């Protein structure tokens, strides 16, 4: 729904501006190869420090949303129960949930449940609901797509196409809301036919 990687990279450059010891690389699109912190020229510790400031300082509240932000609302109108699954930061902080809910509300994202889990969010989702009830998953990270496919066997698992994952070889991708709507309509038709 949003482009965290590009938004955070710009933030990290600003965050470390003026530092004599930490110099993030200038902005460039991450192609998804290697670790993100390596791409932007930070150590794991520097990345975590900047990410904490990003979350606590409200930087993530300003993250832009894309057209796909309306996919949950469309799924809800089709009668789906909508679960938003997201990773939580490397350290638990009380501001994470309110910030996330604020961002979702600000962008009008319709959902029934919100699940924080890292790194096994789809395994946890399968534990919370009958895995066979999950019909559709969209994610931008290859490792999460593979996890969803493993633990949610009936779901249409779709890659949200972004610059950082353009070279992933995932079999089903969606670059925009219209493609997601078509996939959701197909999922609904299959589900309805199964109930007859």
Q: Do residue 99 and residue 41 come from a single domain?
A: no
Q: Which whole number is the average pLDDT over 56-70? A: 66
Q: Do residue 162 and residue 95 come from a single domain?
A: yes
Q: Residue 111 contacts by C-beta under 8 Å, 6 or more apart in sequence?
A: 72, 76, 82, 83, 84, 104
CA dist 158 and 68 (Å) reads 12
Whole-prediction pTM: 0.68
Over 60: is that where the pLDDT of 96 sits?
yes
Q: Which whole number is the average pLDDT over 39-56? A: 86
Q: Do residue 99 and residue 51 come from a single domain?
A: no
- Count of domains in the chain? 2
Over 80: is that where the pLDDT of 151 sits?
yes
Residue that finishes a domain, picked among 12, 42, 62: 62
Q: Do residue 51 and residue 92 come from a single domain?
A: no
The parent domain of residue 190 ranges over 67-195
Q: How many CB atoms lie within 10 A of CB 194?
A: 8
Residue that finishes a domain, picked among 43, 62, 81: 62
Q: What is the pLDDT of residues 152-184, one digit of tens each?
A: 998 888 887 766 666 677 766 666 667 778 888
Structure-model confidence comparison of residues 13 and 73, the more confident one: 73
pLDDT score of 65: 59
Over 90: is that where the pLDDT of 99 sits?
no
Q: Do residue 9 and residue 88 come from a single domain?
A: no
| φ, ψ for residue 173, nearest 5 deg | -130, 160
Residue that finishes a domain, picked among 16, 47, 62: 62
Q: Do residue 137 and residue 80 come from a single domain?
A: yes
Helices (H), 29-151: 36-39, 44-56, 71-77, 96-106, 121-128, 142-151
Q: Do residue 83 and residue 42 come from a single domain?
A: no
CA dist 29 and 163 (Å) reads 7
| Cα dihedral sign, 154-116-141-159 | positive
pLDDT score of 87: 74
């Amino acid at each position: 729904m949003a482009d965290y990687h590009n938004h955070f990279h710009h933030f990290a450059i600003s965050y470390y501006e003026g530092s004599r010891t930490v110099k993030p690389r200038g902005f460039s699109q991450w192609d998804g190869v290697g670790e993100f912190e390596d791409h932007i020229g930070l150590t794991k510790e520097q990345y975590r420090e900047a990410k904490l400031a990003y979350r606590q300082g409200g930087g993530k509240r300003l993250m832009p949303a894309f057209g796909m932000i309306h996919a949950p609302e469309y799924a809800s109108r089709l009668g789906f129960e909508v679960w938003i699954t997201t990773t939580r930061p490397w350290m638990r902080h009380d501001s994470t949930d309110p910030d996330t809910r604020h961002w979702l509300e600000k962008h009008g994202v319709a959902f029934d449940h919100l699940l924080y889990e890292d790194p096994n969010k789809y395994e946890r989702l399968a534990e919370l609901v009958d895995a066979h009830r999950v019909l559709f998953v969209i994610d931008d990270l290859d490792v999460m797509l593979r996890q969803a496919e493993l633990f949610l066997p009936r779901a249409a698992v779709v890659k949200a196409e972004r610059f950082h994952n353009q070279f992933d070889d995932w079999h089903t991708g969606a670059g925009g809301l219209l493609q997601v709507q078509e996939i959701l309509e197909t999922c609904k038709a299959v589900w309805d036919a199964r109930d007859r």
